[in-house]
């Protein structure tokens, strides 16, 4: 997994590198990396009109080194201050944004390049908060960002992700290790568990508590997600109402239809042999449903993935914390922004990473905060406690895809992965599978795509 750094972490790594080399050598290496990327992608440089927007700090110094090297290749390079107007960039074919780096703590109104110009940002687009991805003022949208040593958190979140374009990590001699955040990539799918030759259906069992009348699809989708992600036995416990219509459930399911009042007791019996339990999708928001879900969580006998209606049952972060503390088995929660607001009882802060870490710390649960960049935060905190996933696409913005994700997470936990890694790999699988579909993706089509992707990973394709 690739390290992703905060401002504070990058400052510490910079300081250690300077002790071993020098600030000037790091500046030269960074400028050379930018010039190389520009020349390789957009060369030849002879007579190319380049404007470098260079500030007074290290970021500007990187830009000035790049300007010198590109001029030596024959480009017509002009270096300007960040305070220039948009008119000063007229005629530029390529703009190098080296105005400000990770240390900017004020509003910046960037000059706008000509529509036809290519923009290359140094480290990150100037004006983007390196920890949150928020923009104070106006920032140039880059085609390419050459970032030093490691991705910055702000390149993956908020406006920073949209504005940074393609991100290239340049090795300039700074060692990065033990960061709080890591980015999950395709190469990490090799960590997916493989079935042993002695595996049987009870090796990786999952139980799903879901699908009240009228919302049976949520239960079916969570079960299908678990099946395609490797659960050999999936049992569904779902509430029934006398006289409710029958449903065409997946044939492979073992079902226990029960009354809402008996839900917790029956689940305790069934989960004696379960590796993980999904609670919440499509269970409803009635007082009996909420009471049953709270009891399930408080008396759990195996790891729980708590989703959808389950998140509304716990009574906010403090209520969740009390229920998580009742038993040692881990809990993973999977809120989207609306569910997180309800958990908090307030609007979400702009710092999504900080929010996920705070809720994980306060509740004791692993938090998977869904979004364009999904954030998975462990309650342990410290190095390697956050995974970031950027594989999701707009194809997943359809009803039921989150239910599938819950089933996948549970299956990976039942396969032996610890919750943080299970949730991170599940989210990446979920996104990569969704990206395979062209057109409008139905949630019922997603489990099959996930199964195909896992098969290809395991067969080395």
Distance CA 32, CA 455 (A): 42
Residue 461 binned pLDDT confidence (cut-offs 50, 70, 90): low
Distance CA 257, CA 240 (A): 6
Percent of the chain past pLDDT 70, that is, above it, reads 99
> Residue 257: is its pLDDT beyond 70?
yes
Least confident of 100-104, 235-239, 418-422: 100-104
- Is 109 in contact with 138 (CB distance < 8 Å)? yes
Q: What is the pLDDT of residue 245?
A: 63
Phi and psi at 369, nearest 5°, equal -95, 110
- Is 179 in contact with 5 (CB distance < 8 Å)? yes
Residue 87 binned pLDDT confidence (cut-offs 50, 70, 90): very high
Q: What is the pLDDT of residue 196?
A: 86
Residue 437 binned pLDDT confidence (cut-offs 50, 70, 90): confident
Exposed (0-12), middle (13-18) or buried (19+): which is 18, by Cβ within 10 Å? Answer: middle
- 276: three-class secondary structure by DSSP: strand
Please compute the mean of the pLDDT values over residues 5-22 and round it to a whole number: 96
Name the residue among 374, 414, 375, 412 with its Cα closest to residue 391.
374
Q: What is the pLDDT of residue 104?
A: 85
Q: What is the pLDDT of residue 243?
A: 63
Name the residue among 116, 115, 120, 112 with its Cα closest to residue 139.
112
Q: What is the pLDDT of residue 103?
A: 83
Name the residue among 107, 91, 41, 45 with its Cα closest to residue 71.
45
DSSP per-residue letters across 210-242: ---TT-HHHHHHHHHHHHHTT-SEEEEEEE--T
Please compute the mean of the pLDDT values over residues 140-151 and round it to a whole number: 98
Alpha-carbon distances, residue 203 vs 217, 237, 310, 379, 424 (angstroms): 26, 20, 26, 28, 22
Please compute the mean of the pLDDT values over residues 82-90 and round it to a whole number: 94
Residue 244 binned pLDDT confidence (cut-offs 50, 70, 90): low
- Strands 205-209, 137-138: parallel, antiparallel or unpaired by DSSP? unpaired
Rg (CA), the chain: 25
Average pLDDT over the chain reads 95
Q: What is the pLDDT of residue 195?
A: 87
> Residue 459: is its pLDDT beyond 90?
no
- List 54's β-bridge partners, or say none: 98
Give the CA dihedral 102, 106, 109, 111, nearest 10 degrees. -40
Distance CA 131, CA 220 (A): 39
Please compute the mean of the pLDDT values over residues 250-267 and round it to a whole number: 92
Least confident of 167-181, 207-221, 237-251, 442-456: 237-251
Q: What is the pLDDT of residue 438?
A: 80
Distance CA 274, CA 101 (A): 50
Least confident of 173-187, 220-234, 247-261: 247-261
Q: What is the pLDDT of residue 105?
A: 80
Would you state the structure tokens that stand for residue 332, as one six-digit string?
């993973």
Distance CA 460, CA 49 (A): 46
- List 365's β-bridge partners, or say none: none
- Is 404 in contact with 225 (CB distance < 8 Å)? yes
pTM for the whole structure: 0.95
DSSP per-residue letters across 25-90: HHHHHHHHHHHHHHHHHH---TT-EEEEEE-SSHHHHHHHHHHHHHHHTT-EEEEE-TT--GGGGT
Domains, the chain, ordered by start: 2-179 (3.40.50.10260), 186-458 (3.40.1190.20)
Please compute the mean of the pLDDT values over residues 182-204 and round it to a whole number: 94
Which residue is it, tokens 């700090």?
A: 57
- Is 293 in contact with 299 (CB distance < 8 Å)? no
Distance CA 147, CA 172 (A): 10
Residue 305 binned pLDDT confidence (cut-offs 50, 70, 90): very high
Q: What is the pLDDT of residue 61?
A: 98
Which residue is it, tokens 């917790």?
A: 264
């Amino acid at each position: 997994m690739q390290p992703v750094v905060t401002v504070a972490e990058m400052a510490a790594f910079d300081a250690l590198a300077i002790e071993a080399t020098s600030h000037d050598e790091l500046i030269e290496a960074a400028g050379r990396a930018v010039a190389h990327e520009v020349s390789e992608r957009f060369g030849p440089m002879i007579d190319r009109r380049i404007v470098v927007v260079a500030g007074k700090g290290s970021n500007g110094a990187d830009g000035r080194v790049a300007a010198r090297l590109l001029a030596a290749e024959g480009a017509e390079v002009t270096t300007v201050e960040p305070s220039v107007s948009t008119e000063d960039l007229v005629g530029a074919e390529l703009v190098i944004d080296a105005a400000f780096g990770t240390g900017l703590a004020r509003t910046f109104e960037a000059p706008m390049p000509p529509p036809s110009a290519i923009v290359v940002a140094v480290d990150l687009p100037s004006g983007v908060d390196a920890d949150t991805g928020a923009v104070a003022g106006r920032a140039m949208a880059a085609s390419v960002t050459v970032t030093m040593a490691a991705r910055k958190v702000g390149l993956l979140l908020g406006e920073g992700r949209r504005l940074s374009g393609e991100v290239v990590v340049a090795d300039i001699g700074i060692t990065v290790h033990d960061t709080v955040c890591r980015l999950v990539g395709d190469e990490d799918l090799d960590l997916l568990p493989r079935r042993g030759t002695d595996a049987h259906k009870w090796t990786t069992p999952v139980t799903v508590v879901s699908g009240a009348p009228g919302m049976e699809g949520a239960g079916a989708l969570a079960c299908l997600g678990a099946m395609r992600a490797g659960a050999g036995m999936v049992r569904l416990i779902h509430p029934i109402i006398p006289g409710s219509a029958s449903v065409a459930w997946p044939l492979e399911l073992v079902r226990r239809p029960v009354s809402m009042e008996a839900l917790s007791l029956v689940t305790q019996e069934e989960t004696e042999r379960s590796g993980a339990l999904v609670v919440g999708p499509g269970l409803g928001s009635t007082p009996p449903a909420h009471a049953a879900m709270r009891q399930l969580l408080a008396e759990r006998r195996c790891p729980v993935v708590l989703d959808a209606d389950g998140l509304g049952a716990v009574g906010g972060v403090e209520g969740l914390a009390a229920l998580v503390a009742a038993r040692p088995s881990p809990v993973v929660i999977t809120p989207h922004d609306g569910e997180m607001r309800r958990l908090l009882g307030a609007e979400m802060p702009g710092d999504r990473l900080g929010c996920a870490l705070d809720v994980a710390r306060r509740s004791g649960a692993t938090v998977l905060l869904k979004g364009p960049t999904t954030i998975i935060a462990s309650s342990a905190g410290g190095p390697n406690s956050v995974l970031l996933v950027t594989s999701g696409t707009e194809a997943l913005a359809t009803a039921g895809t989150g239910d599938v994700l819950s089933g996948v997470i549970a299956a990976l936990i039942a396969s032996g992965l610890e919750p943080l890694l299970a949730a991170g790999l599940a989210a990446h699988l979920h996104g990569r599978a969704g990206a395979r579909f062209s057109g409008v993706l139905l949630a019922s089509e997603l489990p099959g795509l996930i199964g195909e992707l896992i098969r290809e990973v395991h067969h080395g394709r």
